[in-house]
């Protein structure tokens, strides 16, 4: 008897342990991103899928096909609650066939030659078609990586409960290089990173391959990202030494099956720092030789090395101008070093000089436009979306459309340096789309930024889109759960910029949370409105660069008297008792002249300038009547208050979602929204009080009084803000 009791206690404890273990294994901490693969809830859909999927056939054994197998083994049994397994032969029904004409005899038999011919190396087709007179779903591509992308697309159809009865999908990327830029330092800090430390554990590499590296690669492959720059553009030359190249090789080997290529940031002065040369002059034969040998060495570690990303002569970084050479001289020297092996150089146009009295936003154009046509064929000039620096709203960068003979690559920032960092919910697809859809008029109406960067406007062969990563080693990857949607939407738009923000938000919500409409619809509205809401409580009507000093956290419109005028806020808003705004018309800095004439006319004329760019281009008196009929001052106040109110509405909508979300993630978002609500009020009150000290006008009736005095806000001095 005693024995039995003992046994029972033992069994019970084991059971309890098992339960606890499963709870912690499946803790809803956001780790699984949009790749959750939970059992499909809708019974009709589930039944339908089960009847159409009973096995999959993959012929061939490459590392990428192995990855596809693993993904299916993870996804299908979980989604369908059925033990779906791999088969060598077709069965009577329910077959999924995946592969290329080269590795799959079944696919080779199909009349797909024409279709696949237009799909390129990464595109795919997903078709419902008879094979040997049996109906089945076929995912076919020209390469294994194309098949992997197609597999993820198919899984997304299941995850989002789409009809798969008669599939006829074909998809190929519009942009060739879809690349994350990590600003990760070798000591694992991340510049402007708000999700913990760097994913790359350099100390344990090359021996220890963390499962996170593979999950990172899986996530990227699922949205078509095909490149990653591992380290900060403020580069450390040590990265190019053998000790680190061994480690980079280990990562590149882990990522390769997922179609993810590795690139490195190159410190321009590396030949001096690690090469023992006296100069880094790009025209010096020894320097050229050094970079060539260094590149060849890198290729011995990583045969498919993607190439270099370079920040030169910007914010104190060394560059060709240190030797009186141009950006093209520097970029070409590096491009020559990697050309034979198919490498590229992504040379950043984010440059502004310390000495220039010019309006800072004009400098990149002034430096790069004259270099058009002088870059090697394997150079992409990487341009930030706007001419300043990832502000909540900027007009598109005037270089887009202005360099018809030089491939330009888009640089977006996923990490929310100026968008509330990781405490705020800001879905950035609308911001990215706004830039991509903007019309440069470079070749008449319809010459959108997207057509510049996809190469169609100026026949660029090389095309690219970069996203400054928001990923760190936090369990949920991005600090704020909704930061994941920015990683997701970047990948989706780099693949196909014609997708709408709504479509992408819809997909992401369904895969990340649930397909239930009473959740998806209101939360999608939160996402779609979130960027405009943030602009309203931070920098409405074209205001810019009024954030906290150095860490860029919180408001700081009063920032002045710093080592450089163009690092202050007063330089940009120019508020006085007469008015506010930066005159960039011909009467002012004439930055407007950098755009094509129709854009100049639109932005340069107070009456036609879109209100969202009003104070970016114009200096406007406080009494100026805006479109709503309000004075500028009143409108500014209404927008600040409206923005803060918008966050309250986001909170209300989210708080009604408890039934649809697991408690852990529900609470995470709820708590972050309450931080955001506080921060929105902080921005509102600090900015309204500060600008009021110039406008000398009352806050419009009906709006609450700010909670503290201006002095109080000016004295706030947050310490240890992450990401500096």
Q: Show the tokens assigned to 609.
A: 């300038």
Number of residues that bind ligand GCV (CB under 6 A): 9
Closer CB to ligand GCV, 457 or 466, in the complex:
466
Contact flag: residue 389 with ligand GCV (CB under 6 A): yes
Question: How far is Cα 254 from Cα 265, in angstroms, rounded to an integer?
Answer: 19
Question: How far is Cα 196 from Cα 470, in angstroms, rounded to an integer?
Answer: 10
Catalytic, out of 281, 367, 389, 506: 389
Q: How big is the CA angle at 497 (ends 491 and 498), to the nearest 5 degrees?
A: 135
Question: How far is Cα 117 from Cα 125, in angstroms, rounded to an integer?
Answer: 11
DSSP state at residue 566: G
Residue 449 C-beta: closest distance to ligand GCV, Å: 19
Q: Which of 363, 296, 419 is nearest to 594 (CA)?
A: 363
Residue 674 C-beta: closest distance to ligand GCV, Å: 27
Residue 314 C-beta: closest distance to ligand GCV, Å: 6
Cis bond before residue 206 (omega within 30° of 0): yes
97-156 binders of ligand GCV (CB under 6 A) = none
The site map against ligand GCV for 245-284 (x = CB under 6 A) is: ----------------------------------------
Closer CB to ligand GCV, 54 or 421, in the complex:
421
Catalytic, out of 28, 417, 679, 685: 417
Whole-number Cα distances in Å, 521 to 26, 244, 484, 503, 554 = 26, 47, 18, 12, 30
Closer CB to ligand GCV, 136 or 364, in the complex:
364
Question: How far is Cα 282 from Cα 267, in angstroms, rounded to an integer?
Answer: 13
The site map against ligand GCV for 202-241 (x = CB under 6 A) is: -------------------------------xx-------
Residue 397 C-beta: closest distance to ligand GCV, Å: 13
For 82, other C-beta atoms within 10 Å of its C-beta total 16
Give yes or no for a contact between 331 and 345, defined as CB atoms under 8 angstroms apart.
yes
The label of the residue with tokens 């970029």 reads 331
Whole-number Cα distances in Å, 678 to 15, 644, 649 = 44, 9, 13
Closer CB to ligand GCV, 564 or 587, in the complex:
564
Closer CB to ligand GCV, 183 or 537, in the complex:
183
Contact flag: residue 183 with ligand GCV (CB under 6 A): yes
Residue 555 C-beta: closest distance to ligand GCV, Å: 17
Question: How far is Cα 30 from Cα 484, in angstroms, rounded to an integer?
Answer: 9
Alpha helices (H) in 26-131, listed in sequence order: 43-52, 63-80, 105-109, 113-117
Residue 348 C-beta: closest distance to ligand GCV, Å: 7
Closer CB to ligand GCV, 229 or 647, in the complex:
229
Burial of residue 538, with CB atoms counted within 10 A of its CB: 0-12 exposed, 13-18 middle, 19 or more buried: buried
Question: How far is Cα 422 from Cα 448, in angstroms, rounded to an integer?
Answer: 31
- Binding residue for ligand GCV, selected from 36, 81, 115, 191, defined by CB under 6 A: 191
Residue 63 C-beta: closest distance to ligand GCV, Å: 34
289-348 binders of ligand GCV (CB under 6 A) = 311, 315
3-state helix, strand, coil in the chain (%, to 5): 45, 10, 45
Burial of residue 364, with CB atoms counted within 10 A of its CB: 0-12 exposed, 13-18 middle, 19 or more buried: buried
The answer to whether 191 is a known catalytic residue is no
The answer to whether 273 is a known catalytic residue is no
Q: How many residues does the chain have?
A: 724
- Binding residue for ligand GCV, selected from 182, 192, 360, 639, defined by CB under 6 A: 192
The answer to whether 315 is a known catalytic residue is yes
Whole-number Cα distances in Å, 638 to 29, 245, 456, 536, 675 = 37, 54, 42, 9, 22
Give yes or no for a contact between 390 and 383, defined as CB atoms under 8 angstroms apart.
no
Closer CB to ligand GCV, 389 or 394, in the complex:
389
346-385 binders of ligand GCV (CB under 6 A) = 350
Catalytic, out of 315, 578, 623, 664: 315
Q: Show the tokens assigned to 173.
A: 């990327």
Contact flag: residue 394 with ligand GCV (CB under 6 A): no
Residue 603 C-beta: closest distance to ligand GCV, Å: 24
Closer CB to ligand GCV, 166 or 354, in the complex:
354
Closer CB to ligand GCV, 192 or 510, in the complex:
192
Q: How big is the CA angle at 409 (ends 404 and 415), to the nearest 5 degrees?
A: 150
Contact flag: residue 525 with ligand GCV (CB under 6 A): no
Closer CB to ligand GCV, 192 or 681, in the complex:
192
Alpha helices (H) in 456-556, listed in sequence order: 483-495, 501-512, 517-538
Closer CB to ligand GCV, 325 or 551, in the complex:
551
Q: Show the tokens assigned to 651.
A: 């909170």
Residue 503 C-beta: closest distance to ligand GCV, Å: 29
**Bridge partners of residue 464, in order along the sequence:** 177
Residue 468 C-beta: closest distance to ligand GCV, Å: 7
Please list, in sequence order, all residues whose beta carbon lies within 8 angstroms of the beta carbon of residue 704, skipping any fewer than 6 positions away.
641
Residue 417 C-beta: closest distance to ligand GCV, Å: 6
Catalytically annotated residues: 315, 389, 417
Chain positions contacting ligand GCV, by CB under 6 A: 183, 191-192, 233-234, 311, 315, 350, 389
């Amino acid at each position: 008897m005693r024995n039995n009791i003992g046994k029972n206690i033992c069994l019970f404890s084991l059971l309890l342990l098992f339960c606890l273990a499963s709870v912690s294994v499946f803790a809803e901490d956001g780790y699984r991103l949009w790749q959750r693969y939970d059992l499909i809830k809708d019974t009709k859909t589930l039944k339908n899928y089960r009847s159409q999927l009973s096995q999959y056939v993959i012929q061939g054994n490459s590392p990428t096909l192995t990855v596809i197998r693993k993904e299916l083994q993870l996804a299908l049994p979980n989604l369908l609650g059925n033990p779906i397994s791999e088969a060598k032969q077709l069965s009577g029904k329910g077959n999924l066939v995946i592969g290329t004409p080269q590795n799959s005899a079944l696919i080779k038999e199909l009349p797909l030659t024409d279709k696949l011919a237009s799909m390129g190396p990464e595109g795919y087709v997903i078709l419902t078609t008879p094979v040997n007179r049996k109906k089945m779903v076929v995912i076919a591509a020209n390469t294994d990586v194309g098949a992997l992308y197609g597999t993820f697309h198919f899984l997304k159809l299941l995850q989002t409960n789409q009809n798969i009865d008669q599939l006829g999908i074909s998809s190929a990327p519009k942009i060739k290089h879809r690349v994350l830029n990590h600003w990760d330092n070798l000591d694992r800090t991340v510049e402007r990173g708000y999700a913990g430390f760097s994913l790359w554990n350099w100390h344990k590499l090359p021996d220890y391959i963390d499962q996170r590296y593979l999950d990172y690669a899986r996530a990227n492959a699922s949205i078509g990202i095909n490149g990653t720059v591992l380290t900060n553009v403020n580069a450390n030359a040590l990265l190019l030494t053998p000790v680190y190249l061994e480690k980079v090789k280990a990562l590149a080997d882990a990522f390769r099956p997922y179609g993810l290529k590795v690139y490195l940031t190159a410190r321009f002065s590396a030949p001096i720092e690690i090469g023992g040369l006296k100069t880094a002059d790009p025209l010096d034969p020894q320097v050229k030789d050094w970079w060539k040998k260094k590149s060849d060495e890198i290729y011995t570690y990583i045969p498919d090395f993607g190439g270099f990303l370079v920040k030169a002569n910007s914010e104190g970084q060394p560059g060709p101008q240190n030797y009186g050479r141009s950006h093209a001289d520097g970029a070409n020297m590096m491009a020559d070093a990697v050309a034979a092996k198919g490498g590229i150089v992504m040379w950043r146009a984010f440059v502004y000089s310390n000495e220039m009295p010019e309006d800072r936003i004009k400098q990149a154009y002034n430096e790069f436009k004259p270099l058009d046509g002088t870059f090697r064929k394997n150079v992409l000039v990487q341009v930030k979306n706007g001419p300043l620096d990832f502000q909540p709203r900027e007009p598109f960068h005037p270089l887009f459309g202005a360099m018809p003979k030089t491939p330009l690559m888009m640089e977006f920032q996923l990490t929310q340096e100026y968008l509330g960092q990781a405490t705020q919910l800001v879905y950035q697809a609308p911001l990215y789309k706004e830039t991509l859809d903007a019309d440069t008029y470079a070749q008449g109406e319809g010459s959108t930024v997207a057509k510049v960067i996809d190469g169609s406007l100026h026949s660029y062969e090389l095309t690219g889109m970069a996203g400054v990563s928001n990923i760190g080693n936090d369990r949920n990857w991005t600090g704020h759960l909704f930061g994941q949607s920015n990683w997701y939407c970047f990948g989706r738009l780099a693949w196909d910029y014609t997708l709408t923000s709504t479509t992408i938000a819809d997909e992401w919500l369904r895969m990340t949370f649930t397909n239930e409409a009473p959740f998806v619809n209101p939360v999608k509205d939160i996402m779609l409105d979130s960027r405009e809401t943030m602009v309203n409580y931070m920098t409405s009507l074209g205001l810019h660069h009024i954030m906290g000093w150095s860490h860029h956290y919180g408001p700081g419109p009063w920032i002045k008297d710093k080592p450089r005028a163009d690092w202050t806020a007063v330089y940009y808003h120019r508020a006085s008792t007469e008015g506010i705004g930066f005159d960039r018309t011909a009467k002012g800095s004439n930055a407007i002249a950098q755009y094509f004439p129709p854009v100049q006319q639109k932005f340069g004329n107070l009456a036609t300038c879109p209100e969202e760019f009003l104070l970016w281009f114009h200096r406007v008196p406080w009494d100026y009547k805006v479109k709503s009929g309000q004075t500028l001052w009143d409108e500014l106040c209404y927008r600040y208050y409206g923005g803060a109110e918008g966050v309250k509405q986001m909170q209300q909508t989210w708080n009604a979602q408890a039934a649809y979300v697991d408690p852990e993630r529900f609470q995470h978002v709820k708590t972050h929204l309450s931080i955001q609500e506080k921060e929105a009020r902080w921005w509102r009150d600090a900015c309204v009080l500060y600008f009021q000290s110039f406008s000398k006008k009352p806050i419009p009736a009906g709006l609450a009084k700010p909670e503290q005095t201006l002095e109080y806000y000016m004295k706030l001095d947050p310490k240890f803000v992450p990401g500096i």
